[in-house]
Amino acid sequence: MSDEDRAGPGGTTWWRDAVTYQVYPRSFADSDGNGFGDLPGVLGRLDHLVELGVDALWLSPFYRSPQVDAGYDVADYLDVDPLFGRLEDIDTLVAAAHQRGLRLIIDLVPNHTSDRHAWFEEALTAGPGSAARDRYVFRAGRGPGGNEPPNNWQSTFGGPAWTRVPDGQWYLHMFDPHQPDLNWESPVVRAEFAKILEFWLDRGVDGFRVDVAHGLVKNPDLPDWPADGAAPAKALDPAAAAPADARSDMNVLWERDDAPMWDQDGVHEIYREWREIVDGYQGGRILIAEAWVSPQERLARYVRPDEMHHAFNFDFLTAPWLPGQLRAVIDRTLEATGSVGAVATWVLSNHDVVRHTTRLAYPDPVMARAGGIGPGDPEPDVAAGLRRGRAATLLMLALPGAAYLYQGEELGLPEDTWLPDDARQDPVWERTGHKARGRDGCRVPLPWHADAPSYGFGPGPDSWLPQPEIWARYALSVQVGIAASTYEMYRAALALRRELRTGGEALEWLDTGDAEVLAFRVGELTVVTNFGASPVSIPAGLMPVVASASLDAGHLLDTDTTVWLREPAA
């Protein structure tokens, strides 16, 4: 199938090599000084994205919401929460983005609503057996008096996945009890979401990042899982052997391929319907799967020609900083996506995981998990983490396909591992009885100015999570125009990537004769990463054009460094 066919009627294939920047609105820029970022704040900083050189922005949820899970608990899919602005602010933002040549993607949360959504309130009053209740997953309990939950499923945030309502029924929530799961077997739910998609497409958005895309359909028998109550078998790290309620660990729970609540075949029918809807619009509107699905062959099913356009590659995100493992993930990804004619979708950071500059500072990839890091945990080596983080970014941005950046990574921001426990807002912290610290450490508001109150996040000193003093070092104001800064490295890489269109090229590995060094060619670019302790020479005859750290004597690549090289101009 050609690119044009895949793009749909009148569409383009802009997304095949696009770099998209994730804006987490409450932490990006605050226009009114109440300590929460907002849509006018995003508008005011849109030029930052243009100067950075990305193609699109993805906005995390701004819908009306009680904000129990930072907006991933939606009470009205067709309106903006007053915390972030008004519906008109979205129209303004879409127009302003398009005027600057940026696409705008929004987050869609179809697995669950808020318990304050009118559908759920109606379901509670309408009672058992009602059509209103059929929009959700209500069941009778087990055991005497139905006093036990219908099965043994655990919520991703900790604790049982079922909550009982006063009339005795139980409802399913794979996340917080304030986030009841929708019943995607219901044609009513499907029809409602088709309308929601159209509402936003009509307003001009360029696509949807689909939250928990692998979770909408459950095995209809709702069988116990794990069947024997044992700890997940496919554990990736020693800590995963802990009891299911001891920690929140999305990745480990979600990577089980036999889980009856994740990656059921039935989800694909939904995305085929949605693909028809987005293809009915001009301009190349896209769907992006947030699907914690492994192996790559299963994930590739989400990006078959009649389904979604991108699926975040979390195998890449969670891979340890080891050349052999990274190369294997890259190969497997390119093979799996290639087999369905899709592009790879690379990502290193987002609002759910420890920032990669911090994650990569630890030898154990367990730190990638939602468990978080806080006082009393082993402290990362911030400088070493930044060095690796920058090398990982340059490696990623050279890979063929699309890439996603998370706000603040262009500043080299580390995870805030100093956040006091009493400031935590992520429901994971309470739901796990303070065993998992949660995701607040990657959500701390951004530093724009080293010397301003709230580091320029807002006009005043307030910020919904306290900002650490170290933020002054990372502020945009101290990085602009400084060649060695992380910000200028991102800018240089994005500009060259765009100029050479490397995202659309094929990758060819080069033999380095050294297991600690990865090298590949992509179009006109040669990319080398040194994972080893000793410096290595860059290939003769090539000229360094972007590097994650300075090259000793102009040609020696030190440990944890990536360089992009080109043929010297004739």
Residues designated catalytic: 211, 290
The residue (of 40 and 158) whose beta carbon lies closer to ligand BGC is 158
Question: What's the rounded Cα separation, in Å, for the pair 79 and 125?
Answer: 24
**Residues 6 or more apart whose Cβ sits within 8 Å of residue 455:** 445, 446, 447, 448, 449, 467, 471, 472, 475
Tokens of 383: 């400088």
Closest distance of CB 568 from ligand BGC, Å? 44
Question: What's the rounded Cα separation, in Å, for the pair 94 and 105?
Answer: 9
Closest distance of CB 292 from ligand BGC, Å? 8
Question: Is the distance from CB of 365 to CB of 318 less than 8 angstroms?
Answer: yes
Tell me: does residue 115 bind ligand BGC (CB under 6 A): no
Residue 103 bridge partners (DSSP): 56
CA distances from 372 to 91, 241, 249, 549 (A): 36, 17, 10, 28
CA geometry: angle 101, 107, 112, nearest 5 deg: 170
CA geometry: angle 83, 433, 174, nearest 5 deg: 65
Amino acid at 446: L
Tokens of 311: 């699926």
DSSP conformational letter for 27: G
Beta-strand relationship, 345-347 and 170-172:
unpaired
DSSP conformational letter for 136: B
The only residue of 21, 119, 175, 254 in contact with ligand BGC, by rule CB under 6 A:
175
Tell me: does residue 397 bind ligand BGC (CB under 6 A): no
- The residue sitting closest to ligand BGC, measured at its beta carbon, is 72
Tokens of 227: 């069947």
**Residues 6 or more apart whose Cβ sits within 8 Å of residue 191:** none
The residue (of 210 and 411) whose beta carbon lies closer to ligand BGC is 210
Tell me: does residue 197 bind ligand BGC (CB under 6 A): no
Tell me: does residue 211 bind ligand BGC (CB under 6 A): yes
**CA dihedral angle for residue 101, residue 212, residue 248, residue 181, rounded to 10 degrees:** 130
Closest distance of CB 210 from ligand BGC, Å? 10
Q: Kindly state the number of chain residues that form the binding site for ligand BGC, as judged by CB under 6 A.
A: 9
Closest distance of CB 178 from ligand BGC, Å? 11
CA distances from 557 to 205, 394, 492, 520, 549 (A): 43, 14, 19, 15, 8
State how far Cα 336 lies from the chain centre. Answer: 20
Tell me: does residue 290 bind ligand BGC (CB under 6 A): yes
Question: What's the rounded Cα separation, in Å, for the pair 373 and 239?
Answer: 14
Side-chain-side CA neighbours of residue 394 (13 Å) = 34
The residue (of 103 and 351) whose beta carbon lies closer to ligand BGC is 351
**Residues 6 or more apart whose Cβ sits within 8 Å of residue 263:** 214, 257, 291, 293, 298
Applying the rule CB under 6 A, the residues between 322 and 361 that interact with ligand BGC are 351-352
Amino acid at 376: G
Tell me: does residue 72 bind ligand BGC (CB under 6 A): yes
The only residue of 69, 89, 249, 410 in contact with ligand BGC, by rule CB under 6 A:
69
Count helices and strands in the chain by DSSP H and E runs: 16, 20
SS (H, E, C) 49-74: HHHHCCCEEEECCCEECCCCCCCCCC
Q: Which of 133, 77, 123, 105 has its CA nearest to residue 21?
A: 105
Side-chain-side CA neighbours of residue 493 (13 Å) = 30
Closest distance of CB 538 from ligand BGC, Å? 39
Tell me: does residue 109 bind ligand BGC (CB under 6 A): yes
Question: What's the rounded Cα separation, in Å, for the pair 161 and 180?
Answer: 9
Q: Interface residues with ligand BGC (CB under 6 A)?
A: 69, 72, 109, 175, 211-212, 290, 351-352
